[in-house]
Amino acid sequence: MSLENISANKSFGGWHKQYSHDSKALNCSMRFAIYLPPQASESNKVPVLYWLSGLTCTDENFMQKAGAQRIANELGIAIVAPDTSPRGEDVADDEGYDLGKGAGFYVNATQAPWNRHYRMYDYVVNELPELIELTFPVTTKRSISGHSMGGHGALTIAMLNPDRYQSMSAFSPIANPINCPWGVKAFSAYLGEDKSTWLKHDASVLMSKATQFVPALIDQGQGDDFLVEQLKPEALSNAAEQSGYPLTLNMQQGYDHSYYFISSFIESHLHFHAKHLNM
């Protein structure tokens, strides 16, 4: 699978690079970013944290705003940030910001016209890691994290694939999408009206029934405008209590939904993942 290097920037001794490639899973050209710390070499491969971004974002939001490279350098962790959806002129879209381009929701769409391109689950779980591990000096040890829609993606993907991820974390995740407007709109379009097909993409449902545990850390701002209607962290708390899931959920007073919040706590998340990646 050929890669085209779009950009390269030195950062804290390592390199932040953007690449494009043709994706078989998504049937279009895709872009991702990777930060390789200076420790990474063919003789010293490093583990990877996959970061999934939220609605309207691309690979650039996290890499430019979170301030994660300094800590990734110290810990010897690579970071990979894919785009949030397929892109291109022939890719289906919607007038709203919460469906279509920039809003892939990390599921495999089964409904037309979305099912031609919107297979973000397959891309994140299988195609992208295979490409990263074949191309760059990284190990097969993976953790996953994300924000908002990407937090939903990180949690559900890790719980559906507990043998593939050492740890999972999220900032302000859409915790119970089957019961919030963002999730209902996206799942109705991508997965259809049969709500039984939605359940495996709901973090609270998965956590309540889990028997294999991926260590989990979540930070949620109490000043988040989307807290009550869209995010519903209490559903995750209840689910973890029901199954005995090893969840740490921190409610952070005054913080909102922005990257000011993420950059304030990204260091603790990276240390959390490093603990599990380096075991």
Are 47 and 275 within 8 A, CB to CB? no
Gap between the Cα atoms of 215 and 7, Å rounded: 34
The verdict on whether 148 is a catalytic residue reads yes
Q: Which of 16, 152, 257, 269 is catalytic?
A: 257
- pLDDT exceeds 70 at position 7: yes
- pLDDT exceeds 70 at position 151: yes
Tens digit of each residue's pLDDT (9 = 90 or more) over 97-145? 999 999 999 999 999 999 999 999 999 999 999 999 999 999 999 999 9
How high is the pLDDT of residue 2? 84
- pLDDT exceeds 90 at position 279: no
For residue 80, list its beta bridge partners: 34, 50
- For 218-243, what is the mean pLDDT? 98
Which of 48, 132, 50, 49 is CA-nearest to residue 83? Answer: 50
Cα 39 to chain centroid distance, Å, stands at: 24
How high is the pLDDT of residue 153? 98
pLDDT band at 58 (very low <50, low <70, confident <90, very high): very high
Residue with tokens 């089957």: 178
Which of 107, 218, 213 is CA-nearest to residue 166? Answer: 213
Q: Which of 85, 148, 167, 169 is catalytic?
A: 148
pLDDT band at 70 (very low <50, low <70, confident <90, very high): very high
Are 32 and 18 within 8 A, CB to CB? yes
For residue 221, list its beta bridge partners: 252
Q: Which of 224, 237, 269, 273 is catalytic?
A: 224
Q: How many residues does the chain have?
A: 279
Cis-peptide, bond into residue 233, ω within 30° of zero: no
211 CB-near residues (< 8 Å, 6+ apart): 243
The verdict on whether 219 is a catalytic residue reads no
How high is the pLDDT of residue 1? 59
The verdict on whether 22 is a catalytic residue reads no
Output the six-digit token pair for 208.
Answer: 């309540």
Gap between the Cα atoms of 50 and 79, Å rounded: 6
